[in-house]
């Protein structure tokens, strides 16, 4: 397993947000976590990335214990993060934002090819290299957040709500790019409220409810489950 | 007379500007007014006095004092401020901590060095250049040159280097910077180090100018430099420079034309007037508190 989460427990302030979660992500997969608002999806991602500390349980990445590690150390190990709400640096240019994404990379050649890769995936960003990130549209900021996370050449990408608040054409584009990035060999753990798109793009999925995994399996099977159809896909 | 006072004020203002950048750098990254910065400035001047008296030469002495004071800045952050950040304490806790630290540093200086005013040897040659009826001392010219040089170096660090890019990223979004592999606490330490270095250079220049040094010298100078930083737009380096010069010139004017009793208040009158018209200062950005 590339990423394993075992019996993870996290308090978010006074709220018992994760009540013993187990998930696995294998190399090369796209795995999505779906669930309603407040189910604990973002807390799970924040606990994996060390932004929030867990009270119990373990997270391992390539057999190394990374429980409660500092986020900045995680980047060096090969984990890229595109956080909820995009969190770009508003007063830095697009290019500077990407340069920050490659902060841990010292090889000039590698940084160069990082820019090329991101600009190839998102040509829109190339047109805006000298523009301040705060002046970009929501969709462009989302591209930048994903591109920035790719600059460190990660083995796994953690994506938190990449489609949130985007126009439908951007949603399709972002999901196409996620599949493309996966084809380039990057494992992906995706958190989404847009269960339709997430399940259609993923290999496997976990349904998170009230801080617990309520269902897991192949994305296709999950998408066909009557309970999921009713609760998350607006069908049935 | 007027032009003479403008020159005197500019030289003094450079000193304020160098202290003001310390407030601006730390405020930029922590959104915190570091009220211990005036005491750090006094510490830098006292250390320069000590290290120069060791007779290794003026320049090595000041360099040693810069490093000592820079390290003091890092220690203040590591011992007193970083633990507060870890506990996500309210900003007011950090603010009162910096005021406490200010008093502790001043107190320790008095205990170990003594509270009396001591003679600080001139750093530059005592010659003066006379043009018409204006005379400018070598010290004043050198104060301007050294300050502008240091300002340029700081601007290059912040806008042209990798660590500077990290400083700006941490300033705008420390959480995201952390996720991108930036050790935010290291960047904060580096910022405190830069602030300490600038304060020491300011301390050595101003002490060399007045030829006097004492532990409480940072109190009024620190407040005026803080006023200069706010006047120019706190967080902005060019703002700190302009603010420092305005404070320096106004002080020099007030002392000459209104009498030395008005020396300390004119700078603050100007500050208040500017803030009423431009609440974010001359170079301040509106969005700065939003990010």
Residue A31 maps to a domain: yes
For the cut 50, the answer to whether the pLDDT of residue B239 exceeds it is: yes
For residue B289, what pLDDT is reported? Answer: 42
- pLDDT tens digits, B169-221: 999 999 999 999 999 999 999 999 999 999 999 999 999 999 999 999 999 99
Find the farthest-apart pair of alpha carbons in chain A and give their distance in angstroms, rounded: 54
Is the CB of A83 less than 8 angstroms away from the CB of B179? Answer: yes
Pairing of strands B134-137, B128-131: antiparallel
- pLDDT tens digits, B127-168: 888 888 888 899 999 999 999 999 999 999 999 999 999 999
Nearest CA in chain B to A49: B179
Residue A155 maps to a domain: yes
For the cut 60, the answer to whether the pLDDT of residue B109 exceeds it is: yes
Residue A236 maps to a domain: no
pLDDT above 70 as % of chain B:
98
Residue A236 CB coordination number (10 Å): 10
- pLDDT tens digits, A120-130: 999 999 999 99
Residues of chain A contacting B181 with CB distance shorter than 8 Å: 72, 74-76, 103-104, 152
Distance of alpha carbon B25 from alpha carbon B245, whole angstroms: 18
Distance of alpha carbon A21 from alpha carbon A46, whole angstroms: 13
Half-sphere exposure of A5 (CA within 13 A, CB side): 25
- pLDDT tens digits, A64-88: 999 999 999 999 999 999 999 999 9
**Mean of per-residue pLDDT scores for chain B:** 92
> Using 50, 70 and 90 to split pLDDT, how confident is the model at A236?
low
pTM comes to 0.92
Of residues B15, B36, B2, the one with CA closest to residue B148: B15
Nearest to B165 among A71, A90, A96 (CB): A96
**Mean of per-residue pLDDT scores for chain A:** 94
Distance of alpha carbon A229 from alpha carbon A210, whole angstroms: 18
Nearest to A87 among B162, B166, B176 (CB): B176
For the cut 90, the answer to whether the pLDDT of residue B285 exceeds it is: no
- For chain A, the distance separating the N- and C-terminal CA atoms, rounded to the nearest angstrom, is 35
ipTM of the complex, rounded to two decimals: 0.92
Is the CB of B181 less than 8 angstroms away from the CB of A76? Answer: yes
Which residues of B make CB contacts under 8 Å with A? Answer: 162, 165-166, 168-169, 172-173, 175-184, 285, 287, 291
Choice between B287 and B269, residue whose per-residue pLDDT is larger? B269
Chain A, residues 48-77, CB within 8 A of chain B, namely 49, 51, 70-72, 74-76
Nearest to A49 among B162, B168, B179 (CB): B179
A33 Cα to chain B: minimum distance (Å): 20
Domains contained in chain A, number: 1
Residue A169 CB coordination number (10 Å): 9
Contact A32, A52 (CB under 8 A): no
For residue B286, what pLDDT is reported? Answer: 62
Burial class of residue B48 in the structure, from the number of CB atoms within 10 Å of its CB (0-12 exposed, 13-18 middle, 19+ buried): buried
Is the CB of A71 less than 8 angstroms away from the CB of B178? Answer: yes
B180 Cα to chain A: minimum distance (Å): 5
For residue B284, what pLDDT is reported? Answer: 83
Residue A79 maps to a domain: yes
Residue A214 maps to a domain: yes
For residue A232, what pLDDT is reported? Answer: 84
Query: Alpha carbon A208 to chain centroid distance?
Result: 15
Distance of alpha carbon A138 from alpha carbon A134, whole angstroms: 9
- Which of A61-75, B15-29, B113-127 has the lowest average pLDDT? B113-127
B89 Cα to chain A: minimum distance (Å): 14
Contact B33, B20 (CB under 8 A): no
Choice between A36 and B158, residue whose per-residue pLDDT is larger? B158
Range of the structural domain that residue A210 is part of? 3-231
Mean pLDDT throughout A18-25? 96
CATH number for the domain spanning A177: value is: 3.40.50.300
> Using 50, 70 and 90 to split pLDDT, how confident is the model at B287?
low
Q: Report residue B206 as tokens.
A: 């101003």
């Amino acid at each position: 397993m590339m990423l394993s989460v075992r019996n993870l427990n996290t308090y978010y302030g006074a709220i018992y947000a994760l009540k013993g979660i187990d998930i696995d992500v294998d190399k090369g997969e796209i795995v999505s976590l779906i669930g309603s608002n407040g189910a604990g999806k973002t807390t799970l991602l924040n606990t994996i990335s060390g932004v929030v500390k867990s009270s119990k349980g373990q997270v391992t990445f390539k057999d190394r214990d990374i429980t409660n590690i500092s986020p900045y150390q995680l980047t060096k190990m090969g984990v890229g993060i595109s956080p909820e709400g995009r969190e770009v640096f508003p007063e830095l240019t697009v290019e500077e934002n990407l340069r920050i994404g490659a902060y841990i990379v010292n090889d000039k050649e590698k940084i160069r090819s990082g820019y090329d890769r991101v600009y190839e995936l998102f040509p829109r960003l190339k047109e805006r290299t000298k523009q301040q990130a705060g002046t970009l549209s929501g969709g462009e900021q989302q591209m930048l957040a994903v591109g920035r996370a790719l600059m460190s050449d990660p083995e796994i990408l953690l994506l938190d709500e990449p489609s949130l608040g985007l126009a439908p054409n951007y949603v399709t584009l972002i999901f196409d790019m996620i599949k493309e990035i996966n084809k380039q060999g990057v494992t992906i753990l995706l958190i989404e409220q847009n269960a339709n798109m997430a399940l259609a793009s993923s290999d496997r999925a976990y349904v998170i409810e009230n801080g617990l995994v309520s269902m897991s399996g192949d994305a296709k099977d999950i998408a066909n489950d009557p309970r999921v159809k009713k609760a998350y896909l607006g069908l049935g | 007379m007027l032009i003479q006072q403008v020159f005197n004020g500019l030289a003094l203002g450079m000193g304020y500007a160098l202290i003001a950048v310390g407030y601006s750098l730390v405020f930029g990254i922590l959104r915190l007014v570091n009220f211990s910065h005036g005491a750090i400035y006094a510490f830098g001047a006292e250390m320069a006095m000590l290290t120069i008296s060791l007779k290794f030469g003026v320049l090595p002495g000041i360099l040693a004092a810069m490093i000592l004071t820079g390290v003091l800045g890092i220690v203040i952050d590591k011992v007193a401020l970083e633990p507060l950040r870890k506990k996500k304490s309210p900003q007011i806790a950090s603010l009162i901590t910096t005021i406490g630290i200010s008093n502790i540093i001043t107190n320790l200086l008095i205990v170990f060095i003594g509270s009396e005013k001591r003679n600080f040897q001139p750093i530059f040659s005592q010659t003066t250049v006379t043009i018409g009826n204006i005379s400018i001392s070598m010290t004043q010219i050198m104060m301007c040159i050294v300050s502008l040089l240091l300002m340029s170096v700081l601007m290059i660090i912040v806008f042209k280097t990798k660590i500077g890019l990290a400083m700006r990223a941490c300033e705008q979004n420390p959480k995201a910077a952390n996720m991108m592999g930036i050790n935010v606490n290291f960047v904060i330490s580096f910022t405190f180090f830069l602030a300490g270095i600038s304060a020491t250079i300011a301390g050595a220049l101003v002490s060399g100018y007045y030829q006097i040094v004492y532990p409480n010298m940072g109190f009024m100078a620190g407040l005026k430099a803080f006023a200069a930083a706010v006047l120019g737009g706190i967080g902005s380096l060019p703002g700190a420079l302009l603010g420092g010069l305005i404070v320096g010139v106004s002080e020099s004017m007030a002392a000459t034309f209104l009498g030395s009793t008005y020396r300390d208040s004119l700078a603050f009158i100007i500050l208040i007037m500017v803030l009423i018209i431009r609440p974010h200062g001359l170079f301040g950005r509106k969005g700065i508190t939003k990010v």
